[in-house]
Structures are given as C-alpha cells and as structure tokens.
C-alpha cells in the first residue's frame, strides 16, 4: 500500500510525544488525535465539493452516545460506547445524506446546518434527558473490567487516528475517491458516465458521520464532558476550517496536521483577551502563505 | 393579540434588516459572506456608541460617515480571494476578527438605543403601548425597501443587477459589465446592512456573539425566499417571523427549533426557495 510510511512516521511522532511530553502536551495530543477524526469527516465531504456546516451534529451524536449510556444505564464500557456511536452517527449521516441528496452548494450547507441545529435545540431543551446546556459527564471508559487510564486513552486516540489515516489511504486509492473528485469537478458528466451520485453521497455522508461521531466520542472521553455546543454550527465551522487547512497539506496526514494546527492556534489564543482576533489573524496568515507559495 | 402583532413586527423588521443586504450580496455577487451578521452588529454598536456620546444628529451623521467607509474595505478584502472555498475561509476569519474587535473596543456591555427611542413617547394601539420608535423604524425600513424597488425596477443598473442575478454569463454575453455590477451590489449590500443595523439599535440590544446568531437568521430568510430574490426574502422574513412569534406565544420551548424546521421543510420541498420563478440549484 502506498503511503504506509506516513502511518509509521505518525505512530513514531505520537510515541515520542507520549514519552517526552508533559501531562498537558499528552492531553492536547490525545484531544487533537480524537478531534482529527471529525476533521477527517468534514474533509471527506469537501472532496465531493460539499461544505457541511452540520457535521457537528454527528460529532454530538457520538459524544452523547457515551454520555447518555452512562447517565441512564450506567454503562462505561468502551466497546459498547463505540458500537452505539458508530450505529447512531451512521444512521444520522445516512439520514442527512439522503435528505440533502437533492441540494448542493449553499443549500446543502444550510440544510445540514439546520439539521444539526435541530439536534442542538433538542439537546438544549430536553434537559431532563440530556442535561440541557450543562451537558453530561462522561466517565473514563472501561474496557471489560479494566479502567482505561491515561495511557489507555492515549492508545485509543492513537489507534483511532492511525486507523483513520489508513482508511484515508485505502479510500484515496479506491474508485469512490475518483468518483468524489469527479462529482466535485463536474457532477453532470459523472452521472452521464453511469455513477449513482446520490447513493455515493449518502454513503460518504454516513462514513463522514461515523468518523465525526467517533471523534466526538473521543473528545468527550478526553475532556470527560459533552455539551450541546458540540452540535452548534460554530463547532461545525471550526471543523470545516480545520478541514480546509488540511486541504493545503498532503492528504495522507493532512487531517491530523490540520486539526493539530487549528487546535494549537486555538489553545494558544486563549491566553489573550480576545482569542478570536488571534485565530482570525492566524487563519488569514495561513491563507496568505498558501497563496504566496502556490501562486 | 396586539401584543403578538408588536412582537411579530419587531422580529420581522429585524429579520428583513439583516437579510435584505445579504440577498444583494449573495444573489448578485455570489459572495457567501459569513461575516455578514458582524456588519449588522457593527452598525448597531457604532450607532449606539456615537449617538450616546455626540447626541442624536451629529452621532447619526458620524455613524453614517464611518459606515460608508466599510463597503470599500470589505470589497478590497473579498477581492483577495479567488474561489468559493477561499471566500468561506476568509470571511470566517473576518467574522472572528470583527468579533474580537468588538470585544476589544466595545467590551461586554449591552449596546442599545432603546432608552433614547423610548423618550420619543408611545402610541396607544388597542390598549397596548407601542413606542413611536417602532413606527419610525418601520418607516426607515420601508423607505429602504422602496429605494431598492426603484433601483431594481426603474433604473438601468437595477436591470443589470437582476440580469446578473439570473445568469451572470448570459448577462455578460449581452454586454453587461458583470464584475462592475457585482462590485456595486457588494457595496450596496454591506452599506444597507450596516445602516439597518444602526437603525435596529432603537429596538435591539447588541452584545457579543450576536453576529453569528444574526447570520443564521439571514441565511434562513435567504434560503426560504430563494437566493437573490429581494421580494422572496422579504416574504420569507414575514413567514419566519409569523412562525417564530406563534411558537413563542404558544410553545416557547420550540422557539429555536421552528426556524430550522422551516428551513429544512422548504429545502426538501422546493430546494430553490418558495418564491423563485424557476428553481436552479447549483
């Protein structure tokens, strides 16, 4: 398989971070690796030319899978959490993919934004089931009878990130990826060649949602908390921006690097009175640099 | 009943004020401006700060002067981007920048001219006190709509704008200087939005985080009305305002939800918007 070296190199970097880094760096690394899955989902849809401002919906579904299972049934088992998150987020993605099959461009972005905001309002208003704006506590997961410690969580994050990097390699060499590029460049022509575009997009939407859902689950684990803000459109906006950042980079590891770059800027900006200003300037600088080098 | 009507009226004016500029910018120039709400909010902040400091008339004039400088700046900013993705990226950055500047310059306070507006007195309509400022605001918004109508349907530039909105390439082929028309509509859209934001300060309080909220309302009205359709957008604003007011009256828990459900329903049934003559979804 082409590109396997980047997977090995990534595992090496993650191992060095764990061995040499302090507690905070390990926390950030785990957070970034989990979050990068959601970025992967946004990036997958961007490949079809679809800007999804509702990817946060799936991200929230994943996080709440763990939160609700623990709150209502006391389940902290990681395999059950993952299973539930995959099924629920997959269904959510399939639903939104089928529903938004007829629209493209701005309408697509807004339809998905509306879907995720419906989820947001439900999570916010039905506080007796979902904890309302406080969100839910997410415990450190257990794997059968053993509690996943910091190391376990880090390994889980590393496993997810490498698995998705590999999935990305497999995907980008598949027929589906060619079709995706075709859909982005000229949809009419691809459909004239015999492709079922809506089916492709629904499948991609389900895959992107599963990915974002697992990302949400992972971030909920790392931060021990899930809140309705996961489904808010500004979360989707962050994910889309990170995915756009990663478009500027090679596909193999772009999603992790884009996620890391965005989170690094965001975390660094928190020390200022106006973090937004710093993030905005950083984004503009990125755009400028990219323009300068890819003239 | 009067109560509900007043609530509807205020929300309708608000929605119309936000979305009409966006209809121009997206409809004619195809610029998806994520920072659109921030311009509305900037108008409100500036008007409040300047009018409370300088007094009504000089304050209003100073606001208008500052706001007039915005469109060229925004135009130069947007021109730097080459495609839709870059536009999205750049205007998202602009949204963050403007929010950061608001926090830096205006701080966390509530900015509103409602006190000043209340000083104008109130009319009694069916036993309910309705501030005169509401009527004034209504007149201002209606005046702007009338100006847009005259511009769009009675001038050559308006004809070109409608042509470019329908089909940019066809218009260009027939001799319209499409880029120029698009640039002008960006100017117009931004200026109108910021100005209406300033007018809206008489009934609305501006705080941090409002830019993103307002943006979504504008998007909703735009999509329901049909992209780039001024009258459709106005009608959609009325529809959304009716739905929201009714829900707030009878079942306030669903206040947030109803607008999104309306957007989903319209996009599913008529992806091109309710009021388009023919649907052309990208």
Q: pLDDT tens digits, residue range B39-84?
A: 999 999 999 999 888 888 888 888 888 888 888 888 888 888 877 7
For chain B, the domain total comes to 1
- Percent of chain A past pLDDT 70, that is, above it, reads 99
What are the strands, taking DSSP E only, across B71-144?
Answer: 122-125, 128-131
Instruction: Answer with the residue of higher pLDDT: B252 or A156.
Output: A156
pLDDT in tens, A11-53: 999 999 999 988 999 999 999 999 999 999 999 999 998 999 9
Task: Determine whether the interchain pair B260/A121 forms a contact, defined as Cβ–Cβ distance below 8 Å.
Answer: yes
With beta carbons less than 8 A apart as the criterion, state whether A200 and A15 touch: no
Angstroms from B244 CA to nearest CA on chain A: 14
**Residue B281 has what pLDDT?**
47
In a domain? residue B268: no
In chain B, residues with a C-beta closer than 8 Å to the C-beta of A292 are none
B216 contacts chain A (CB < 8 A): yes
Is residue A124 classed exposed, middle or buried when 0-12, 13-18 and 19+ CB atoms within 10 A define those classes?
buried
B32: domain range?
Answer: 21-208
- Average pLDDT over all residues of chain A: 91
Tell whether ipTM is more than 0.90: no
In a domain? residue B126: yes
Three-state SS at B92: helix
Task: Determine whether the interchain pair A281/B97 forms a contact, defined as Cβ–Cβ distance below 8 Å.
Answer: yes
> How much is the average pLDDT of B79-94?
84
Q: How far apart are CA A285 and CA B78, in angstroms?
A: 15
In a domain? residue B94: yes
What residues are paired with B2 via a beta bridge? none
pLDDT interval class at B122 (50, 70, 90): confident
Angstroms from A76 CA to nearest CA on chain B: 31
B254 contacts chain A (CB < 8 A): yes
In a domain? residue B192: yes
Token readout for B97 is: 């920048």
Residue of chain A minimizing CA distance to B88: A241
Which residue is it, tokens 């004039």? B61
Neighbours of A223 (CB within 10 A): 16
pLDDT at B27 over 70: yes
pLDDT in tens, A142-185: 888 888 888 999 999 999 999 999 999 999 889 999 999 999 99
In a domain? residue B48: yes
Task: Determine whether the interchain pair A277/B101 forms a contact, defined as Cβ–Cβ distance below 8 Å.
Answer: yes
Q: How far apart are CA A156 and CA A146, in angstroms?
A: 14
In a domain? residue B173: yes
In a domain? residue B282: no
| Segment (H or E) for B190 | helix B178-200
Between A46, A110, A273, which is nearest B219 by CB? Answer: A110
Between A106, A233, A240, which is nearest B32 by CB? Answer: A106
With beta carbons less than 8 A apart as the criterion, state whether A29 and A154 touch: yes
pLDDT at A110 over 80: yes
**Residue A113 has what pLDDT?**
92
Pick among A48, A277, A295 to test the B interface (most B CBs inside 10 A): A277
B267 contacts chain A (CB < 8 A): yes
pLDDT in tens, A242-253: 998 888 788 888
B145 contacts chain A (CB < 8 A): no
Cα torsion A38, A171, A96, A129: sign: negative
pLDDT in tens, A58-94: 999 999 999 999 999 999 999 999 999 999 999 999 9
In a domain? residue B280: no
Q: Give CA separation, B1 vs B13, B126, B128, B134, B203, in Å.
A: 18, 9, 10, 17, 20
Q: Give CA separation, B76 vs A47, B81, B101, B153, in Å.
A: 29, 10, 19, 28
Token readout for A71 is: 């709150």
Highest mean pLDDT among A56-65, B156-165, B211-220, B247-256: A56-65
Task: Determine whether the interchain pair B268/A115 forms a contact, defined as Cβ–Cβ distance below 8 Å.
Answer: no
């Amino acid at each position: 398989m082409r590109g396997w070296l980047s997977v090995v190199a990534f595992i090496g970097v993650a191992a060095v971070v764990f061995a040499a880094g302090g507690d905070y760096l390990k926390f950030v690394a785990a957070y970034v690796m989990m979050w990068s899955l959601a970025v992967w989902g946004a990036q997958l849809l961007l490949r079809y030319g679809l800007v999804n401002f509702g990817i946060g919906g799936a991200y929230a579904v994943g996080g709440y899978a763990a939160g609700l299972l623990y709150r209502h049934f006391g389940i902290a088992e990681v395999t059950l959490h993952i299973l539930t998150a995959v099924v629920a987020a997959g269904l959510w993605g399939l639903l939104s993919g089928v529903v938004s099959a007829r629209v493209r461009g701005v309408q697509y972005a807004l339809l998905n934004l509306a879907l995720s905001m419906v989820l947001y309002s439900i999570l916010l208003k039905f506080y007796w089931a979902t904890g309302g704006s406080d969100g839910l506590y997410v415990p450190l997961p257990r794997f059968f009878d053993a509690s996943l410690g910091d190391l376990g969580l880090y390994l889980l994050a590393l496993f997810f990130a490498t698995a998705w990097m590999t999935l990305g390699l497999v995907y980008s060499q598949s027929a589906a990826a060619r079709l995706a590029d075709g859909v982005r460049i000229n949809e009419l022509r691809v459909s004239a060649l015999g492709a079922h575009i809506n089916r492709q997009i629904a499948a991609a939407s389900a895959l992107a949602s599963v990915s974002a859902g697992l990302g949400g689950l992972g971030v909920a684990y790392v931060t021990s908390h899930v809140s309705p803000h996961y489904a808010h459109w500004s979360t989707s906006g962050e994910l889309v921006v990170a995915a756009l950042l990663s478009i500027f980079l090679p596909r193999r590891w772009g999603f992790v690097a884009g996620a890391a770059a965005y989170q690094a800027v965001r975390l660094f900006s928190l020390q200022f009175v106006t973090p937004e200003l710093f993030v905005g300037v950083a984004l503009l600088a990125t755009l400028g640099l990219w323009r300068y080098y890819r003239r | 009943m009067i109560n509900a009507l007043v609530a509807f009226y205020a929300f309708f004016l608000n929605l119309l004020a936000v979305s009409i500029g966006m209809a121009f910018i997206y409809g004619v120039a195809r610029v998806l401006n994520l920072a659109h709400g921030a311009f509305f909010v900037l108008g409100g902040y500036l008007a409040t700060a300047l009018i409370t400091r300088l007094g009504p008339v000089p304050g209003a004039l100073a606001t208008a002067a500052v706001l007039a400088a915005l469109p060229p700046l925004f135009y130069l900013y947007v021109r730097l981007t080459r495609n839709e993705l870059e536009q999205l990226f750049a205007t998202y950055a602009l949204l963050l920048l403007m929010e950061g500047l608001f926090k830096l310059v205006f701080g966390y306070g509530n900015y509103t001219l409602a006190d000043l507006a209340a000083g104008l007195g109130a009319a009694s309509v069916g036993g309910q006190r309705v501030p005169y400022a509401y009527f004034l605001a209504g007149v201002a918004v209606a005046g702007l709509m009338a100006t847009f109508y005259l511009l769009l349907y009675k001038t050559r530039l308006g004809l070109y704008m409608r042509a470019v909105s329908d089909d940019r390439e066809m218009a260009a082929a027939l001799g319209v200087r499409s880029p120029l028309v698009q640039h002008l509509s960006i100017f117009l859209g931004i200026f109108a939005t910021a100005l209406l934001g300033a007018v809206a300060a008489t009934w609305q309080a501006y705080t941090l985080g409002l830019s993103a909220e307002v943006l979504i309302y504008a998007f909703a009205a735009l999509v329901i009305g049909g992209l780039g359709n001024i009258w459709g957008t106005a009608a959609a604003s009325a529809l959304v305002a009716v739905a929201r007011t009714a829900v707030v009256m009878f079942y306030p828990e669903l206040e947030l939800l109803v607008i999104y459900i309306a957007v989903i329903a319209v996009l599913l049934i008529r992806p091109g918007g309710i009021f388009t003559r023919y649907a052309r979804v990208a």
